[in-house]
Amino acid sequence: MAKGSKKRNILPGFGLSLGYTMLYLGLLVLIPLSSVFFKSFELSFGEFWQIISNERVVASYRLSFATSLIAALINAVFGLAVAWVLVRYRFPGKRLLDALVDLPFALPTAVAGIALTQLYSPKGWIGSLLEPLHIKVAYTPLGIIVALTFIGIPFVVRTVQPVLQELDREIEEAAASLGARRLRVFVQVIFPELLPALITGFALAFARAIGEYGSVVFISGNMPMKTEIAPLLIMTRLEQFDYPGATAIALVMLIISFVLLLFINYLQWRSGRRTAAA
């Protein structure tokens, strides 16, 4: 602040606020998080590989990845429809529905977990309807997908909604006045504008689903090799005091999360630049 030449530097509190931010971030997040890396370095590469290439571990990764991907895809499709309907149409109960979209953010995952399990178990309201069709949801991978879809609903809706709201309708009018049919306007004019937001929402939902624990443990049944997701396997290893095992599995998941975070930041940076340029 001694150098008053730069315009921004006349405000007070830079040193204090940045210092406190770094200290708090370091103590609460960065140092504890580094423990996963340091603990993993205690293993030789051979040992590390043995842990993460174990059949049960690979099965859990595959299950987590596949169910998260399917759930995020479901959310991309239906989330787009929900966002569209909430922005473009009027119908009774719309405001309420709009507010409810955020329920998965506000509701503790354990509550979602037991409620969905109760609903989709063979005796539940929906489960009993599916029973005659021989469709089992609770305690199967299908149940995991239901829970992960629930968790991901707000991400796609809330990233697409503002973009759709601010979309310039003149472009649509221009396309229509040039004789384009409504479907063609949607596919060629509207959809390309929504696509970056849709991908961001998809990636956010996917990233959240990969790490999700609370809502899944109840509905999945937790059978090794069948319905055991990766976060649950970390939990199991911890309960057996197998810290190296838990840490190695966690390291792989952390790396996946970091890659996803960078990808999402890149997407947001790109769309930010696009709007800034426009």
Partner 1 sequence: MAGSVSANYVSATAAARTGPLAEPAWVRRTLIAVAVIFLALLLILPLVTVFYYAFKEGVRVYFAALSEPDALSAVRLTLLTAAIVVPANTLFGIAAAWAITKFRFPGKNVLTTLIDLPFAISPVIAGLIFILVFGARGWFGPWLTEHDIKIVFAVPGIVLATAFVTFPFVARELIPLMQAQGTQEEEAATTLGARGWTIFWRIVLPNIKWGLLYGIILCNARAMGEFGAVSVVSGHIRGVTNTIPLHVQIVYNEYKFAAAFAVASLLMLLAFATLAVKSFVEWKYARGLAMKESGESI
Considering only residues 198 through 217, tell me which ones interact with partner 1, judged by CB under 8 A.
201, 204, 207, 210-214
Phi-psi region of 89 (alpha: psi -120 to 50; beta: other; left: phi over 0): beta
* End-to-end Cα separation, the chain, in angstroms: 35
**How many of the chain's residues bind partner 1 (CB under 8 A)?**
108
Q: State which of residues 53, 55, 91, 133 lies at the interface with partner 1 (CB under 8 A).
A: 91
Site for partner 1 in 33-52 (CB under 8 A): 33, 35-36, 39
Q: Which residues contact 215 (CB under 8 A, 6 or more apart)?
A: 109, 110, 112, 113, 116, 147, 148, 150, 151
Least distance in Å: CB of 144 to partner 1? Answer: 14
The residue assigned the tokens 């809706």 is: 157
- Does position 246 interact with partner 1 (CB under 8 A)? The reply is yes
- Does position 65 interact with partner 1 (CB under 8 A)? The reply is no
Site for partner 1 in 152-171 (CB under 8 A): 153-155, 157-159, 161-162, 165-166, 169
CA nearest to 219, candidates 113, 63, 67, 70: 113
Amino acid at 86: L
- Does position 11 interact with partner 1 (CB under 8 A)? The reply is yes
Q: State which of residues 5, 53, 90, 132 lies at the interface with partner 1 (CB under 8 A).
A: 90
Site for partner 1 in 96-135 (CB under 8 A): 97-112, 114-116, 118-119, 124-126
